[in-house]
Structure 1
C-alpha cells in the first residue's frame, strides 16, 4: 500500500576540519548567525606538520591534554555539545568522523573514544573565548599505524530554535564542526589488508541492492581504492548486475558496505555468485563467494523497494474485478427489484378483482 508521509528532512551541513582536507578555521560569514561560534586548535609541541587537525606523535601510556579554543560570536550565551568518535567508512567510500550508525569493526583494537575524553557540554557567555581541554591517555602497548577519529562540535539548540524547527517546512539546516584527531607512535608504514565479510540481499535508501561487506583490518588508511563487483546467477556466466566505483577511501580498522543496485528490479529467490575485485595502488584483493536469496527475503525487500511500489502503479486487475462485482450487484439488484415489483402488481390486481366481485 502506497503511503504518503510528510517528512521534515534535517540536513546536516558539516563544516569539517578533517584529515588532510580543511584549513584550521572554517566558516562563512553568512553562516555566522546559524553557527554562533568559531574554533581553532591549539597545537602542542608534538604536533606533526601544519595540518588544521590534531596529528600527534605519542608514546605508550602517555597522558596529554590538548586544547580547542572556542569563541562565541554572538551577543547571547550559547552551549556547545562535544563528543569523540572513531573514524568509519560509509557506503560511498567516504570517511565519517562524526556521529553515525555505522558499526565498529571487530579489528579495531583501540577506539579513540576510549582514549580521548572531552566535556559533554561547554557554556560560552556572549563574546566569550574559552579553551576546552581534550584529555588523551594512550594504550600501554606500543603500536604501529594510526588511531583515527574526530571531535564533534555542535551548538545546542535553544527552546525557541527547537520550536522553530518543528514548525518549519522542508529542509532544516544544522551546522557542526569536526576536529580531526590522529594519533601515532612510530614512522613504520603499515600496509592495508582487506578481508571479505559477507554478501547478501538488502536495501539502501529503500531500493533493492546486493550488499557487499568487507573490512580494512589494519591501523592504516586505504587510499585511491577501486571496487568492482559482478553478480551472477549460480551456474551462469551472464552478469546480472554490476557496479564499479573509483577513488574510494577506507579508515583504519573499519568496514564498509558496498551496494550493487538492482536498478528498479525485483529480487528473485535463488543462489548467486558474487565476484569482487578491489584495488588500491599496487595492492589487489579478489573474492568469489556463493550466497542465497531466500523467498522470504526477496518478498520482504521487494515490498520495501519504493521504486517497485511506484512501478506497480494502479492495479487495473483489481479495479476491474471490483467494478465487475459492483456492476453484477447493481444488475442483480435491478432484476430482483423488477421481479418483486411485477409480483406485487399482480397481487394488487388480484385483490382489486376480488373486491369488485364481492361488491
Structure 2
C-alpha cells in the first residue's frame, strides 16, 4: 500500500512538473495581447446631400463652382431611422494630410499649414447640433460665404457628422474596457472658382527625432503649399550618420496623397532601437508623376532628446520593464523549490517504507 501511494505521488508530481514547465514555456514564447470587446451602438440615422445647380459632376459630396464673395445655402437631408429622438453633432474641418499619406476631412490634432489662406471653418457654417424626432426627415442648412479675392485651385474640407451620445451610452462607454468604436460620417466639401490647373509645390520644413505611435522615429515634415492635391506620391527617406555613406534607417512609401495647403510628417521608424545622440543627415526624395523634389538636410539628436524619446518608446520600456532573465530565474527558482519538496517527500516516504519493513521483520 505504501508503495502504491508513493508511485501515485511520483506520477502526480511528475505531471505537475511537466504542466508547470509547459506553462512556463508558453509564458516565455507567446506574445502578450490585449483584447477588447466591441459593442457598437447603432448609428440610427442616414443622410444625403441635396445637390445644387452649381454642383460639378455627380460625386457623393459637394463639389461646387463658386464666385468671389458669393453667398449660398446648400442642404443635407437627415432621416432618423429609430423610434426614439436622437441628435447629431456637426463640425467643419479643413482637409489635412496624416503621416500615412491619407487625407483627413474630420476632426484631427493636425495643425493647419501656414500656407492655408482660406480655412474651411471660416467659409462654411452649420448648426452645432441637429435633433431629430422618431422617423423624422429634416433638411439642415449649410451656409457658404466665399472670400472676396478670386483664387485658383481648391478650398477643401468636410462636414463631420456624429450621433450625440446619450447619458446611458456615455456610462456604457466609461464602463467598457478596451477600445470603444464610435461611428461618424464625413460630407466632403470642395470649392473652386476657375478651371486653372494649379501645380503642386512641396517645401521642406524640418527633420528631427521624435516618437510616432509610442515608438522612436525620425520625423520628416514638408508642405504642399499650393491649393491643389498631390496624387500618386512616392516618399523615400534615408538616414545617415554625418560623414558616413552607410544608410542607418530608410523608409519608402508609395501612392500617398496630400491635401491642398497641408503638411505631412513622414516617419522613419527605428524598429525597436534606441536613439543615439549625434549628428545625422537626412536624404529626402519625393516624386509625383513627372515631378520631383529632393532635399538633403543635416540635423542633430541631443543626449537630452535621445533620453526623452527612448523613455517614451513602449517597446524599449517593455524590454526594460519585463526582464526575461528575471522570468527565467523565477521559473528555475519555482522548479528548484518543487524539486526540493519532491526530494523531501521522497525521503520521508523511503523512511516510512524502511520502518514498515523493520516492523514486519520483528513480527
Check whether TM > 0.5: yes
Query: Secondary structure of the residue that 1:165 maps to in structure 2?
Result: helix
Q: In structure 1, which of residues 109, 132, 137 is the aligned counterpart of residue 140 of structure 2?
A: 132
2:158 corresponding residue in structure 1 = 150
Establish whether residue 200 from structure 1 lines up as the match of residue 208 from structure 2: yes
Establish whether residue 106 from structure 1 lines up as the match of residue 130 from structure 2: no
Work out the CA distance in 2 between the residues paired with 1:288 and 1:296. Answer: 24
Establish whether residue 270 from structure 1 lines up as the match of residue 274 from structure 2: no
Work out the CA distance in 1 between the residues paired with 2:238 and 2:252. Answer: 9
Q: 1:121: how far off?
A: 0.3
Work out the CA distance in 2 between the residues paired with 1:182 and 1:315. Answer: 55
Query: Secondary structure of the residue that 2:69 maps to in structure 1?
Result: coil
Q: How does 1:1-359 map to 2 (within 5 A)?
A: 34-312=42-320, 313-314=322-323
Q: 1:315: how far off?
A: 8.7
**Quick check: 1:10–1:173 contact (8 Å CA) kept in 2?**
no
Q: 1:10: how far off?
A: 11
**Quick check: 1:93–1:248 contact (8 Å CA) kept in 2?**
yes
**Quick check: 1:8–1:169 contact (8 Å CA) kept in 2?**
no
Work out the CA distance in 2 between the residues paired with 1:306 and 1:246. Answer: 27
Work out the CA distance in 2 between the residues paired with 1:304 and 1:168. Answer: 26
Deviations 1:3-38 (A, max 9, x none): xxxx99899xxxxxxxxxxxxxxxxxxx8x610100
Work out the CA distance in 2 between the residues paired with 1:77 and 1:316. Answer: 59
**Quick check: 1:233–1:272 contact (8 Å CA) kept in 2?**
yes
**Quick check: 1:8–1:172 contact (8 Å CA) kept in 2?**
no
| Structure 1 residue runs without a partner (length 5+) | 1-6, 12-30, 321-359
**Quick check: 1:82–1:119 contact (8 Å CA) kept in 2?**
yes
TM-score using structure 2 length: 0.78
TM-score using structure 1 length: 0.79
| Structure 2 residue runs without a partner (length 5+) | 1-33, 330-363
Q: 1:316: how far off?
A: 6.2
Work out the CA distance in 1 between the residues paired with 2:273 and 2:178. Answer: 30
Work out the CA distance in 2 between the residues paired with 1:228 and 1:10. Answer: 38
Work out the CA distance in 1 between the residues paired with 2:199 and 2:277. Answer: 39
**Quick check: 1:10–1:174 contact (8 Å CA) kept in 2?**
no
**Quick check: 1:84–1:113 contact (8 Å CA) kept in 2?**
yes
Greater fraction of residues in helix: 2
Deviations 1:275-330 (A, max 9, x none): 0000000000000000000000000111111111222332969xx9xxxxxxxxxx
